[in-house]
């Protein structure tokens, strides 16, 4: 997660996605008003063929016992009032952001009028979250306000297409950049766990008969309908939604 936060380009798109998710253009935050945002992460196969095999769309390979190589992906971005209450509500957020502003390393970035909030990274089905600071700088607000279309590479074809600027397209840009980082420059490659694999297997099951109602599974199902590489993968199968 720290590797994701350290890349300026990926974090730029994440900032814009958060601004649009919280609708900060139409509903700007009052001065010194803190906010919170949840970024739900998942670990998925770096090879889309392995993803299809886990879902049962393709037969497993002969060496199926080998551990699948994975990569970090953003599953969803959302504001959760209940999680915010667990942090102590607005007063708790103010205390957290005040301590962030007092940090000498962060002080140059939090001294102006830019909104300062708490970003919470959740991974898979884990109930624990990693907290960190987030500062919404004017440059990101300007990009979000203009909402100019941008060019995005399609991982399935290697070609590019124009995308409207939105929460989902920003998330897809980040996920595609990670997927295409074969040299692991972002340091976001990792081995998949049995729980990671289970979430993908469950995504192929009928929600009416399956008991798994986790946020991780719901987020993955949403991405299957929105991210181009998954839409191409599922185009020829009957999706049980």
**Does the pLDDT of residue 93 top 80, yes or no?**
yes
Residue 232: its H or E element: helix 228-234
Asked if residues 79 and 40 have their Cβ atoms less than 8 Å apart, the reply is no
Q: Report the pLDDT value the prediction gives residue 106, as an integer from 0 to 100.
A: 65
Q: Alpha-carbon Rg of the chain, whole angstroms?
A: 19
**Does the pLDDT of residue 15 top 70, yes or no?**
yes
Alpha-carbon torsion, ordered 14, 18, 24, 26, to 10 deg: 90
For residue 131, tell me if it sits in a domain: yes
Q: Report the pLDDT value the prediction gives residue 241, as an integer from 0 to 100.
A: 35
pTM over 0.75: yes
Confidence of residue 10 (pLDDT cuts 50, 70, 90): very high
d(CA 218, CA 146): 31
Asked if residues 147 and 19 have their Cβ atoms less than 8 Å apart, the reply is no
**Any idea which residue has 């607005």 for tokens?**
90
Domain that holds residue 177: 2-234
Strands 160-163 and 150-153: antiparallel
Q: Report the pLDDT value the prediction gives residue 156, as an integer from 0 to 100.
A: 65
Q: Report the pLDDT value the prediction gives residue 29, as an integer from 0 to 100.
A: 85
For residue 240, tell me if it sits in a domain: no
Asked if residues 173 and 149 have their Cβ atoms less than 8 Å apart, the reply is no
Q: What is the mean pLDDT of residues 194-210?
A: 78
Residue 54: its H or E element: helix 48-54
For residue 111, tell me if it sits in a domain: yes
| pLDDT above 70: percentage of residues in the chain | 84
Q: What is the pLDDT of residues 141-183, one digit of tens each?
A: 999 999 999 988 877 677 788 999 999 999 999 999 999 999 9
Structure tokens at 22: 């919280």
Structure tokens at 28: 């700007």
For residue 241, tell me if it sits in a domain: no
For residue 67, tell me if it sits in a domain: yes
Q: What is the mean pLDDT of residues 206-225?
A: 72
Number of domains observed in the structure of the chain: 1
For residue 239, tell me if it sits in a domain: no
Alpha-carbon torsion, ordered 91, 96, 102, 104, to 10 deg: -160
**Any idea which residue has 């803190």 for tokens?**
34
DSSP bridge partners of 191: 69
């Amino acid at each position: 997660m720290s590797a994701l936060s350290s890349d300026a380009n990926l974090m730029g798109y994440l900032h814009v996605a958060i601004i649009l998710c919280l609708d900060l253009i139409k509903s700007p935050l009052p001065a010194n008003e803190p906010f919170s945002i949840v970024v739900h992460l998942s670990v998925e196969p770096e090879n889309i063929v392995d993803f299809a095999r886990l879902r049962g769309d393709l037969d497993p390979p002969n060496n199926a016992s080998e551990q699948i190589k994975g990569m970090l992906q953003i599953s969803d971005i959302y504001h959760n009032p209940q999680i915010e209450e667990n942090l102590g509500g607005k007063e708790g957020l103010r205390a957290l952001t005040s301590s962030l502003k007092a940090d000498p390393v962060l002080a140059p970035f939090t001294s102006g009028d830019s909104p300062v909030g708490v970003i919470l990274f959740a991974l898979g089905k884990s109930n624990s979250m990693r907290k960190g600071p987030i500062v919404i700088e004017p440059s990101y607000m300007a990009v979000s306000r203009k909402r100019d279309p941008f060019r995005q590479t399609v991982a399935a074809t290697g070609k590019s297409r124009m995308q409207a600027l939105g929460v989902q397209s920003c998330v897809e840009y980040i996920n595609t950049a990670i997927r295409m980082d074969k040299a692991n420059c972002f340091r976001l490659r990792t081995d998949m766990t049995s729980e990671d694999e289970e979430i993908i297997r469950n995504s192929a099951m009928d929600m009416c008969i399956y008991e798994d109602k986790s946020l991780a599974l719901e987020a993955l199902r949403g991405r299957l309908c929105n991210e181009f590489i998954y839409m191409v993968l599922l185009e020829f199968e009957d999706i049980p939604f």
